[in-house]
Amino acid sequence: MTEPPLSGITVVSIEQAVAAPFATRQLADLGARVIKVERTGGGDFARRYDTTVHGQSSYFVWLNRSKESVALDLKSPRGREVLERLLATADVFVQNLAPGAAARLGVDAASLTRRYPSLIPCTVSGYGTSGPWADRKAYDLLVQCQTGLVSLTGDERGTARVGISVADIAAGMYAYSGVLTALFTRATTAVARAVEVSLFEALAEWMSQPADYTRHSGTQPPRIGTQHATIAPYGAYTAADGREVLFSIQNETEWAALCEQVLERPDLVADPRFATGSDRVAHRDELNAIVAERFGRGDSAEISKLLDQAGIANAGVNDVAEFLAHPVLSGRDRWRDVGIPGAVVPALVPPVDLAGVTPRMDPVPAAGEHTERLLTELGYSPGDIDGLRSGNVI
């Protein structure tokens, strides 16, 4: 078997919640050794978000496989001494501590760069480590609100949170790619560059299209549920059996095929109300009424078959249980068993396939599970470890 791409890379993290753990889990997927430093007396608070996965948190199970957990009291001098020994062995350090906490512990990027010039520090913050909001805490939904995402999500009756932790995920993805870039830079230039990502700026990037639309049109895209704000028809419509079918028209060829083969209204192709994409958006309500009437005369399977035959992209609107049973996931062998404390559960294989490389999918650790072993690796004797334990350092 081919050695994982990040084999030999050691990552130390002081992380909690979603963003930083998502970044480091992906590094672990590629073979990096990820040592997760957790609080004594419970560890990462994401362990207690829920208890739905055989007593474990669904968030924690998703984000923390293939990691080693060390429990340390970082408020104690002896705990910080252990952390320093860990950092001396590391290639990358990732943290998403509360504003100011990294500097108080001496693990901010500037301090680490002075002490460990070859270490790549990665900071995940809420609104950046400088600027007017540097001292504010930030959680996913707060950032969804601040970037305007919530104002776009929902329908005419009100706004809605995106149903996943999209700001955390965006920040975790940019931290992951930033660390990979820094590792490449260090390998090619011998310079270790610090990485910084904020939840706000990560999601701000993802808001660029509606931002451009709003800046240049003078009004923001409307909230219209599953409909697309700037393309029509593009959305979910209810068939006669009560199930929704979503489809998208991307060009004039598809529009003509929809009119002739699905809607049974070839006259609409030349209708000036629907002549261009912009015209169809401007007359969305009239167009939706025509589509709804046709969908109301056929069940969802029939409508989907007609759309397929017309070469128009479409999909049923799945719930999560239907997603879990999706034929693409089973047909492409995308599930693997992963150990968690007290059980084994299925988990999705990472979405990027590297030819000849098998992703690492090792167990999710219990809090502090690897503390003693790692301390022994760092040169602590059994007596030293007992002393740290009796002093509540570990």
Helix (H) or strand (E) holding 159: strand 158-159
Q: Domain span at residue 273?
A: 234-316
Q: What is the pLDDT of residues 339-357, one digit of tens each?
A: 999 999 999 999 999 999 9
* Residue 194 and residue 185 in contact, taking contact as beta carbons nearer than 8 Å: no
In this structure, how many other beta carbons lie within 10 angstroms of the beta carbon of residue 139?
A: 14
- Please check whether residues 311 and 369 belong to one and the same domain: no
- Please check whether residues 309 and 339 belong to one and the same domain: no
Q: What is the pLDDT of residue 1?
A: 64
Q: What is the pLDDT of residue 224?
A: 87
CATH, residue 289? 3.30.1540.10
- Please check whether residues 20 and 144 belong to one and the same domain: yes
Q: Tell me which residues of the chain have a pLDDT lower than 70.
A: 1
Structural domain contains residue 375: yes
Q: Which residues have a Cβ under 8 Å from the Cβ of 144 and sit 6 or more positions away?
A: 150, 153, 161, 162, 166, 167, 203
Position 342: which residue type? G
What is the reported pTM? 0.91
Could you give the count of Cα atoms lying within 13 Å of 232 in the half-sphere of its Cβ?
Answer: 22
Task: Count the domains in the chain.
Answer: 2
CATH, residue 55? 3.40.50.10540
- Please check whether residues 98 and 183 belong to one and the same domain: yes
Q: What is the pLDDT of residue 230?
A: 86
- Please check whether residues 175 and 282 belong to one and the same domain: no
Q: Tokens for 121?
A: 């520090």
Q: What is the pLDDT of residue 200?
A: 98
* Residue 133 and residue 127 in contact, taking contact as beta carbons nearer than 8 Å: yes
- Please check whether residues 48 and 122 belong to one and the same domain: yes
Judge residue 36's burial from the number of C-beta atoms within 10 Å of its C-beta, 0-12 exposed, 13-18 middle, 19 or more buried: buried
Structural domain contains residue 307: yes
Structural domain contains residue 221: no
- Please check whether residues 63 and 147 belong to one and the same domain: yes
Helix (H) or strand (E) holding 194: none
- Please check whether residues 202 and 289 belong to one and the same domain: no
Classify 317 in phi/psi space as left (phi over 0), alpha (psi -120 to 50) or beta. Answer: beta
Q: Which residues have a Cβ under 8 Å from the Cβ of 383 and sit 6 or more positions away?
A: none
Q: What is the pLDDT of residue 2?
A: 82
